[in-house]
A and B are shown apart, each in its own frame.
Chain A
Amino acid sequence: MDLSPVVAAISDEGIESAGKAIALGVGAGLGSIGAGIGIGIIFGKEIESVARQPEMKDELQSIRWLGFALTEAVAFYTFIFGLIAFFL
């Protein structure tokens, strides 16, 4: 199979913009998977703990938000680095 016309049609610019789009998609997409799982675990465990010990609710609340924000930030790191790759 002769691929030379296909190869000739691929421009450097096209490859570059495709790479940028892939960087943003993979960065933001895969990053969100991990953070999504993490946030699910945090809230699930918190519900479990409150169901077990309802009197701990207030103490757990601040810890939960701390964990939530730390995990959620990971999704944004990937998103920002994807955007940096896309626009710069």
Chain B
Amino acid sequence: MSADSAAVEAPSGASQSPAPKSGGLSTKAKVFIGLGAYFGVAILLFLIFGSDGKNEEFQPQNEFKLEPWITLELGGIDFSINKAVLYLLLASGLTIGTMLWIAKRMQQKPNRVQVAIEVAYDMTKNTIAGGSLDTKMARKWFPFLAALFFWIWFSNMIGFLPLPTNTEHAINIFGVEVPSFAIYAATANLSIPLVLTLVVWISYHVEGVRAKGFFKYLASWLPPGLEDMNPGAKAFIFVIEAVSHVARLISLSVRLFANILAGHLLLLFMGGGLAVLLGIAALGALTFPLAFFFFILEVGLIATLQAFIFSTLTAIYLGGATSASH
């Protein structure tokens, strides 16, 4: 840079971005006006409505409470039909329905839905199953991995559609008691990811034992390169590896559960829950735009990403249990 251009830049730096923008305002001024209006509305609302004090009646955890609709009890175990069961059946029905519908109407010139499904199918086949498993295992386990991916995806996605499931707060519309609309997802309940994880956990151990034999499989838990280590230290590392296998049960299930639950809680609090809980109506003006942002983030990224991660990790675990090198 020559001295000339530096001399030109110096005064422009002093006057703080003089570039003329449409409307005669610089970007900085627009940002400040926008932020000012955003907080100004909230402060104005606070001055008008003030604070009603903390709301003790509203219990946010009740949004995730499962109310039995049809009580069923078999041998002391609760089999009641509740909204989690409804979401479970909805997700399963959607997965089976979409796949069968597309499979029946396969066309040479695909329409948009078929293209989308084909892209997803390709991804589950090549990236998830093909990426971490050898060809034979990928062929064997692809249906399971794809079903896992699509089921979790549908389950997460319908979790963001408001459905009339909240029977605790029924609204009376022309004499008909309609449950209020609420969002909930089957995967926002720990039991369902935990069952999926148990299936995955047991099947990768079974695959490992079948591929290598019981004792060789246990020995393969040890990382390579420990051949000339003394047995005591080997046993210690084996215990650590065994703990890490048990920890997979927790990490795989809690990852999915926590992501979806936290997403739903954020939407609940940002979409008005926080304002109701604290009794400050003005807070709603601040949090409501954030609710849109989080909704887009959850629907656009987290729902798909978590389904992808769950099935990818399943494939990685299966691959790790059966691969010869490890």
Q: How far is the CA of A11 from the CA of B214 in the complex (A)?
A: 58
CB contacts (< 8 Å) of B259 on chain A: these are: 72-73, 76
Q: Are A68 and B254 interface neighbours, CB within 8 A?
A: no
The answer to whether A69 has its CB under 8 Å from any CB of chain B is yes
Q: How far is the CA of A62 from the CA of B129 in the complex (A)?
A: 13
Q: Are A80 and B127 interface neighbours, CB within 8 A?
A: no
CB contacts (< 8 Å) of A69 on chain B: these are: 255, 305-306, 308-309
Q: How far is the CA of A72 from the CA of B61 in the complex (A)?
A: 23
Q: How many residues on chain A are close to B (CB under 8 Å)? A: 14
- Shortest CB-to-CB span from A46 to chain B, Å, is 15
CB within 8 Å for A77 and B61 given contacts A62-B127, A65-B305 = no
Q: Are B309 and A70 interface neighbours, CB within 8 A?
A: yes
What sequence of 0s and 1s flags, for each residue 33-60 of chain A, a beta carbon within 8 Å of any chain B beta carbon? 0000000000000000000000000000
CB within 8 Å for A66 and B262 given contacts A76-B255, A80-B254, A87-B61 = no
- Shortest CB-to-CB span from A75 to chain B, Å, is 8
The answer to whether A21 has its CB under 8 Å from any CB of chain B is no
CB contacts (< 8 Å) of A73 on chain B: these are: 251, 254-255, 258-259
- Shortest CB-to-CB span from A69 to chain B, Å, is 4
* Count, A-B residue pairs, CB within 8 A: 39
The answer to whether B321 has its CB under 8 Å from any CB of chain A is no
Which one of A62, A65, A70, A77 lies within 8 Å of B254 (CB-CB)? Answer: A77
CB contacts (< 8 Å) of A87 on chain B: these are: 60-61
CB contacts (< 8 Å) of A72 on chain B: these are: 259
CB contacts (< 8 Å) of A70 on chain B: these are: 255, 309
CB within 8 Å for A80 and B61 given contacts A66-B312, A68-B305 = no
Which one of A65, A76, A79 lies within 8 Å of B308 (CB-CB)? Answer: A65
The answer to whether B206 has its CB under 8 Å from any CB of chain A is no
CB within 8 Å for A80 and B306 given contacts A73-B255, A87-B61 = no
Q: How far is the CA of A76 from the CA of B308 in the complex (A)?
A: 17
* Residue of chain B at shortest CB distance from A62: B127
Which one of B127, B262, B305, B312 lies within 8 Å of A76 (CB-CB)? Answer: B262
CB contacts (< 8 Å) of B305 on chain A: these are: 65, 68-69
Chain A residues close to B by CB (< 8 Å): 62, 65-66, 68-70, 72-73, 76-77, 79-80, 83, 87
13 contacts between A and B (CB under 8 A): A62-B131, A65-B305, A68-B305, A69-B305, A70-B255, A73-B254, A73-B258, A76-B255, A76-B259, A76-B262, A77-B254, A79-B258, A80-B254
